[in-house]
C-alpha cells in the first residue's frame, strides 16, 4: 500500500466517534460507484455536516507517527477496497477498514478454520486438540487463533507439529506482542505464518479490544471450533460472531461437572454449535474432500429398529428435507424440550447435525 492511500485509511481510522459501520457505508459507496478512494472525495459525497465534522477530527501527528512506525517495523497494510483484502472477512458487515500484518497474507486464500478456547486448558482439552489436528492434517487448512495461554498456544504448537499454516490474530497493535512470554512464537510466525491486527498504535490497549478481535478470528474462517470454555468464557463471543456471519461452529462436548466444558455444552444446548463428537463432520460439512465422505446421492441404510419410536419419526421427517426445529416439533406434535433432547442424542450418534437458522438435517441420506 502506498503512503498516500495508507494516510487516507488512517485518517478514517483515527476519527473520533466514527463507527466501523459508518465508515463501511462510505467505502461501499466509493466501491459501488467505481470512485478512486481519497480523503478529499469524502466532502463531495457526504452531505451530513456533523459527519463531515467528525471525519475531519483526525490528528495528523498521530497519523505521521503511525506511518513512521509501519515503515520502520516492516509492517504491511491492506485496506478494505484493495483486491487482496481477505475475501471471507470482507463479507462481514463490521469488517475492519484496514489490516496491519506481518507474514504471508495469501495463507488466507486457503481452506481456513479457527480453533479457540479457554486459557485454562485441561488434559482432556489438550488430548482433543491433538486428535483434532490429526484429522485436519489430511486437508491442510490454514489454522486461525489468538496467541494467549491455554488453547491458543496449544493450537500454535499443534499447527507447527503437523506442518499446517498458522495465523495469529492480535488484540493489540504491533507495538507489543501479548503475552510477552510468547514473543519467540510471534517471531516464528513473522517468517513462517501470518500475524494480523486491526489496531494502530493510537488505539489504546483495553480488554474490549480482545473481544472485538474475536470477530476477526470468526470472520477469517470457514468454521470455528471451541475446544473448552467456561460458561462465560471469552471464546464464546467468537462462536457468536461466527453464527452472525453464518459460518459453521463446532463445540467439543465434555462432562457436566467440568467447569471448562460448560461453555461448550451451552452452545450445543442453544443450537449455536454442532456437537463435535466426530472430527470428520468438519470436512464433510465444509466439503473439503468429498471423495473421503459419502457422495451427495449415496444412500446409507440404517437399522431403524435400534432407535426409539420418537427418534425414528425424527429421522424419517429429516430424510425428506432439512427442517427448522419449530417446524419439526409441530409436525411431530411434541414439545420443544423433548425434541431438543432427542436431537442431541441423534447428534451424539452422528446421524443428525444442526444447521444455521435453527435448522436440522441428516448427516447422511438414509433409507429404511
Q: What are the tens digits of pLDDT across the range 303-362?
A: 556 788 888 889 888 888 888 888 898 889 888 888 988 888 887 777 888 776 678 888
CA angle 280-281-283, nearest 5°?
70
Residue 294 has pLDDT above 60, yes or no: no
CATH 3.40.50.450 placement within the chain: 105-286
- What pTM did the predictor assign? 0.76
Residue 8 has pLDDT above 70, yes or no: yes
Tell me 80's DSSP state. T
Mean pLDDT computed over every residue of the chain: 87
Residue 240: CB atoms within 10 A of its CB come to 19
366 DSSP β-pair partners:
300
**In the structure, what pLDDT confidence band is assigned to residue 300 with cuts at 50, 70 and 90?**
very low
Q: Any idea which of 70-84, 100-114, 134-148, 330-344 has the lowest mean pLDDT?
A: 330-344
Q: Which CATH class is domain 294-367?
A: mainly alpha
pLDDT given for residue 302 in this prediction: 54
Name, in order, each residue with C-beta under 8 angstroms of 151's C-beta and a sequence gap of 6 or more.
115, 116, 117, 118, 119, 121, 125, 129, 145, 227, 228, 235
Task: Report the C-alpha gap between 210 and 225 in whole angstroms.
Answer: 18
| CATH number of the structural domain 105-286 | 3.40.50.450
Residue 367 has pLDDT above 50, yes or no: no
pLDDT given for residue 207 in this prediction: 67
Radius of gyration of the chain (CA): 23
Residue 285 has pLDDT above 80, yes or no: yes
Residue with cell 505521521: 64
Q: Any idea which of 50-54, 71-75, 213-217 has the lowest mean pLDDT?
A: 50-54
Residue with cell 433409507: 367
| Segment 248-274, tens digit of pLDDT | 999 999 999 999 999 999 999 999 999
CATH 1.10.10.10 placement within the chain: 294-367
- Do the Cβ atoms of 116 and 224 come closer than 8 Å? yes
Residue 208: CB atoms within 10 A of its CB come to 8
- Do the Cβ atoms of 118 and 124 come closer than 8 Å? no
Greatest C-alpha distance within the chain:
74
Amino acid at each position: 500500500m502506498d503512503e498516500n492511500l495508507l494516510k487516507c485509511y488512517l485518517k478514517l481510522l483515527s476519527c473520533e466517534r466514527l463507527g466501523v459501520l459508518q465508515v463501511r457505508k462510505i467505502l461501499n459507496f466509493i466501491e459501488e460507484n467505481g470512485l478512486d478512494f481519497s480523503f478529499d472525495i469524502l466532502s463531495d459525497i457526504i452531505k451530513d455536516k456533523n459527519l463531515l465534522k467528525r471525519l475531519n477530527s483526525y490528528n495528523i501527528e498521530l497519523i505521521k507517527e503511525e506511518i513512521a512506525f509501519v515503515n520502520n517495523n516492516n509492517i504491511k497494510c491492506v485496506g478494505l477496497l484493495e483486491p487482496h483484502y481477505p475475501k471471507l472477512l470482507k463479507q462481514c458487515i463490521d469488517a475492519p477498514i484496514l489490516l496491519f500484518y506481518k507474514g504471508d497474507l495469501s495463507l488466507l486464500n486457503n481452506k481456513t478454520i479457527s480453533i479457540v478456547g479457554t486459557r485454562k486448558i485441561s488434559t482432556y482439552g489438550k488430548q482433543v486438540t491433538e486428535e483434532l489436528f490429526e484429522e485436519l492434517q489430511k486437508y491442510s487448512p490454514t489454522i486461525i487463533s489468538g496467541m494467549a495461554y491455554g488453547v491458543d498456544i496449544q493450537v500454535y504448537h499443534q499447527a507447527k507439529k503437523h506442518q499446517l499454516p498458522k495465523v495469529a490474530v492480535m488484540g493489540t497493535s504491533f507495538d507489543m506482542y501479548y503475552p510477552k512470554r510468547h514473543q519467540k512464537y510471534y517471531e516464528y510466525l513473522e517468517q513462517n505464518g501470518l500475524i494480523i491486527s486491526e489496531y494502530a498504535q493510537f488505539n489504546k490497549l483495553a480488554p474490549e479490544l480482545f473481544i472485538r478481535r474475536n470477530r476477526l478470528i470468526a470472520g477469517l474462517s470457514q468454521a470455528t471450533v471451541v475446544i473448552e470454555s467456561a460458561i462465560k468464557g471469552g471464546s464464546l463471543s467468537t462462536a457468536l460472531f461466527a453464527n452472525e456471519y453464518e459460518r459453521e461452529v463446532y463445540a467439543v462436548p465434555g462432562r457436566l461437572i467440568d467447569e471448562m466444558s460448560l461453555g461448550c455444552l451451552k452452545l450445543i444446548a442453544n443450537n449455536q454449535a454442532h456437537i463435535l463428537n466426530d472430527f470428520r463432520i468438519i470436512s464433510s460439512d465444509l466439503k473439503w474432500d468429498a471423495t473421503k465422505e459419502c457422495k451427495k446421492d449415496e444412500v446409507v441404510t440404517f437399522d431403524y429398529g435400534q432407535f426409539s419410536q420418537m427418534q425414528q419419526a425424527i429421522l424419517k421427517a429429516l430424510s425428506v428435507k432439512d427442517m427448522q426445529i419449530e417446524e419439526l416439533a409441530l409436525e411431530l406434535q411434541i414439545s420443544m424440550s423433548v425434541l431438543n433432547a432427542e436431537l442431541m442424542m441423534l447428534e451424539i450418534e452422528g446421524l443428525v447435525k444442526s444447521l444455521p437458522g435453527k435448522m436440522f438435517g441428516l448427516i447422511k441420506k438414509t433409507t429404511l
